[in-house]
Structure 1
């Protein structure tokens, strides 16, 4: 269907069709409207006020003074309140101390303002049990967002742009004006006698978005006058494709990645991850980051993605790379671990009574008993003649230069070499339990290698040690 843009009545038809196509509202809904007093939000408030009778909507306008523009910002809120009285619309205004929030959390002005504003919106959604929060973002905002993300980001999902509708605080955020240009909204305001407030900071280019709005997007629109409609169609198409690809990436990720919600860690099976198509590998990688980071750092770039894939395909068995905000990605043989921890495990030294048991720092248990009928359960048990052991037994973390006697070889072998042979990840080596006798002789690298103890065929009493890992409990 074709429309003549720039005429008020056709703008309303256009928004009506857009809202129906994307199911933005339902009859009898409670709709909160974010209103700054500017052209976009005032036009949206007017449009919804005109539509509320046919849709049986309850409208509540929300207006925020961010504490950034002094009396002018307060006057904007007062202006919106006065209009709401005139148009018979419920109103909630608030003051948010963005400068103090910015100082406390060390964030930028725009990020701080957005976080506080959306927190306020969320509280009002729950207070009024609202179905929708309507915001006045328009097609030119969409162009700015997509171009900014294209220039600065690496995640293909960023090309989906500003969502038309998304879940928020028990309801949905909706943006009915994404089908309109800034000029169309201006014409709508003129036609309906709306005299909005103008924020002079919008003409300053010290903020990134304003720079794109004032300098970059106008150049692109000269090359393609229909850029806004082109980008919106691209956004909708990419959103549909992205939803499918995300679902497939989540399926693939769930098969190859284990998450530790408590410690905010992830473990990836290299063999299984490599079996995923490359397009899904990239998406799965970004899904892992989204899961681990509370907010993905702005300085995360394609370089970090390349580092990850370099690590994934490196022939080296042990590699560690540092990501922004303290995230550490470590490869250990056939696993890659994502973690915010880089703390060396605490050394431990525990005396094990015989009989008795000891609980290790990681929650695993080693127990000791005396028996005349030992049961050697391969890796989880150690058995030797009691009379050949000098008590008490000690369980400790490994030391540099540790060596032990191993069946089938002369002399002693370094624990370091045993770990390498058995492909034990670096992060596990420092906390692996080493069992010695009172003289320091290493009897058992618990669950991994047994030392040689001289035997006595006539012995009738045996020492049996059992190792129960925390992960097996």
Structure 2
């Protein structure tokens, strides 16, 4: 087994000479075999090896005995150790977590503290090849996302160093044989035999059947895990680049928007991962009831022929499609009433909530007609001018139009997203006649003599193109 571990370490670059290595040790065969192995190579590799052991207070005194046993073995092997007792039951209740998750969070926090305290380079953990197979099987049972099938990483960054798992090169039988050869008498956790836990069920009933067909299944699955992790790293990098180009972030309001047509030009594999990047950005913590079904909803929305549609996600997240725009947002992050109504002084300027600036002035000539400028004779309108958002029943008319048209239909024709219509700025005279739907349509002022002076209205940072 030692030769296998050394070859695996060299292949995956898991250790460096003259390093400080912490070893998580529970007292079971896996972690004791790992600690013994590290102790056996410490002189050759010039390693400083320190055992870290934890009492999770979950087995009424037995876990405390495990800690004492590890400390005893460390003294026998001349290895310094550090131990602690963590109140997992209290932490679990306070944070409303499952037992395993609560224990893991507290355990890794202690590991993090010790990595910093000892300025350690590596944290070695005792996960082995059979653990990898069981993990992959569990992920296949409950996940519908290929990214979830990566398995246990051989190494990963942690607390300024690396977590390493050398025992992924060997299986449970090899570890037990190593313990026997080296006269290591490990302790066994009786809860590992309870088939009520999924992992234990797989270990007890499924793994023996698989090993009948392939005794080296741990090697096969480890190669699969390495391949999937490499593929996923590349795809995640490409998805992040895609997100930079197609995802628009509103950091203040925790709102995200994308162009549907632009998003769909990218490969499906990147679309899926960009979708998950968006969710990870918006949610502080992913809801437990968020599943692959919601991913299907997202793609249904993305490819829907309907112009305006909205669906609900967990924790009040909304997905809303309006023409080519798809938005993710939390309604409570935005004011419910975003309407406004202000008078326009001439000359003067007004800043709107979206950053648009409206400036007015009196001029002697009717020229400089551009899409961001509206000019009309002061004699043809009733002052003062107003800038406001839409109201029920709004209509307007313009040159060449027979009669008038509903403002709602103007928005529809221009494919303005529903969520933007309530804040779209309108210029009216004092009689309420709409003179300009800014950036969209210029109206026809009432009859009268078109003569100087002229009122010139100029806007900056408008939303849309004129139609």
TM over 0.5: yes
Calculate the TM-score normalised by the size of structure 1.
0.87
- Larger deviation: 245-254 or 325-334? 245-254
Q: Deviations over 1:146-172 (max 9, x none)?
A: 111112112212222111111222222
Superposed CA deviations along residues 121-143 of structure 1, whole A, max 9, x for unmatched, are 22333333322221111111111
Aligned length: 462
Q: Which one of 334, 342, 366 corresponds to residue 351 of structure 1?
A: 342
SS at match of 2:61: helix
- Find out whether 1:453 has 2:448 as its counterpart: no
SS at match of 1:378: coil
**Structure 2 residue runs without a partner (length 5+):** none
In structure 2, the residue matched to 1:63 is 53
Q: 1:374, CA displacement in angstroms?
A: 6.4
Alpha-carbon displacement from aligned partner over 1:276-308 (angstroms, at most 9, x marks no partner): 233333344334434444444454433223222
Segment of structure 1 superposing worse, 275-284 or 418-427 = 275-284
Q: Does 1:270 align with 2:260?
A: yes
Counterpart CA distance in 2 for 1:262 and 1:179 is 48
Cα contact 1:358–1:365 (8 A) shared by 2: yes
- Once the two structures are superposed, the pairs formed by residues 276-425 of structure 1 within 5 Å of their partners are 276-341=266-331, 345-354=336-345, 355-373=347-365, 378-425=370-417
Q: How big is each residue's C-alpha offset from its partner over 1:8-63, in whole Å with a ceiling of 9 and x where there is no partner?
A: xxx11101100000000111122222222222222212211222211112223222
Deviation string 1:362-392 (CA, Å, 9 cap, x unpaired) is 3333333333356656343332223444444
Q: Out of 95-104 and 149-158, give the one that drifted further.
A: 95-104
**8 Å Cα contact 2:30/2:175 also seen in 1:** yes
Q: 1:80 to 1:403 in 2, by over 3 A?
A: farther
Q: Aligned partners of 1:272 and 1:138: how far apart in 2?
A: 44
Partners of 2:379 and 2:449 within 8 A in 1: no
Distance 2:305 2:445 in 1: 38
Contact 2:379 2:450 in 1 (8 A): no
TM-fit CA distance, 1:260: 4.3
Aligned alpha-carbon RMSD (Å): 2.8
Q: Could you say which residue in structure 1 is the equivalent of 2:117?
A: 127
1:71-97 deviations in whole A, cap 9, x for unaligned? 333333333333334433333323333
Deviation at 1:262, TM superposition (A): 5.0
- Structure 1 114/401 Cα, relative in aligned 2: closer, same or farther at 3 Å? farther
TM-score (ref. length: structure 2): 0.88
- Match of 1:167, SS state, is strand
User: What are the within-5 Å matches in structure 2 for residues 39-118 of structure 1?
Assistant: 39-118=29-108
